[in-house]
Amino acid sequence: MLKFYYHPSPNPAKVALFLEESGLPYDMVPVDTARGEQHSAAYRAINPNGKTPALVDGDAVVFDSTAILLYLAVRHGQFLPENKPEVRSQMYSWLMFIATGIGPFSGQAVHFQHFAPEPKDYALNRYMFEARRHWQLIDDHLATRTWMVNDEYTIVDMALWGWARALPFVFGESGWTDYPNVKRFFDAVNARPAAQRAEALKDAHKFKLEYDQETLDALYPQNVGVAA
Ligand SMILES: N[C@@H](CCC(=O)N[C@@H](CS)C(=O)NCC(=O)O)C(=O)O
């Protein structure tokens, strides 16, 4: 049985969606990052990066959401687009754009809006600017197609859905009106029963929701011991 190390946040959500779409049996193992469980030695033996998600498939251990999506898609021959160089090249490009652009920059935009200590104007401006630029690129791409690559529903759409869920946290409610094609895409994925099951996974464990000092220390260890 697959072991899926999960927290209800954008990167694990991508993998939850794949698992629910594929119907592969799995055990969800909660990693409560607000309690610092990602830093335990046992979890770091699985994911040396100390972040969620991770996957254990027998002797195979995979960490990083994009690696897990590719691993599962290749292993099971599911949710990959047509096997033509001109199509697969697009799959790799958009997957990596989401992994290295959308995710980290949107994540930092949220961090600097809500959690970073002052002074933060320069960083906030930088990450908001880049996040807007990245999402505009996706919105433009989706203006003429339903799905990201070759108009097939693939792991690229799953990767994007993980972060589209977070759009209101990045931009406030204007996120949906400013990026209408992303909203249309988001609604289309949400209409899939697998997306609803993937979203419901957050209720399968009592994850800590409070942003108290323990949470802040677990998520932003660089601030521990630094006077505010
Ligand atoms: N590149 C990694 C990023 C993983 C990541 O940042 N995960 C977040 C949740 S979306 C996390 O575990 N955060 C807890 C922490 O930073 O301590 C991936 O795609 O899996």
Distance from C-alpha of 18 to C-alpha of 33, rounded to nearest angstrom: 22
- Residue 92, pLDDT score: 98
In the chain, % of residues over pLDDT 90: 95
Residue 227 has pLDDT above 80, yes or no: no
pLDDT band at 7 (very low <50, low <70, confident <90, very high): very high
Are 134 and 171 in contact, with CB atoms under 8 Å apart? no
Give the number of other Cβ atoms within 10 Å of residue 2's Cβ. 16
**Residues 93, 175: one domain?**
yes
In the chain, % of residues over pLDDT 70: 99
Distance from C-alpha of 194 to C-alpha of 37, rounded to nearest angstrom: 27
**Residues 66, 112: one domain?**
no
* Residue to mutate, 6, 11, 163, ligand 1, most ligand atoms under 8 Å from C-beta: 11
Atom 6 of ligand 1: nearest residue by CA position: 51
**Cβ of 52 less than 6 Å from ligand 1:** yes
CA of 27 to the centre of ligand 1 (A): 20
Q: What is the pLDDT of residues 8-18, one digit of tens each?
A: 999 999 999 99
Residue 170 structural domain: 85-191
**How much is the pTM?**
0.97
**Please, what is the Cα angle at 22 between 167 and 157, to 5 degrees?**
30
**Cβ of 215 less than 6 Å from ligand 1:** no
CATH number at residue 22: 3.40.30.10
Q: What is the pLDDT of residues 102-136, one digit of tens each?
A: 999 999 999 999 999 898 999 999 999 999 999 99
- Residue 226, pLDDT score: 72
Strand runs labelled E in the chain: 2-6, 26-30, 54-57, 60-63
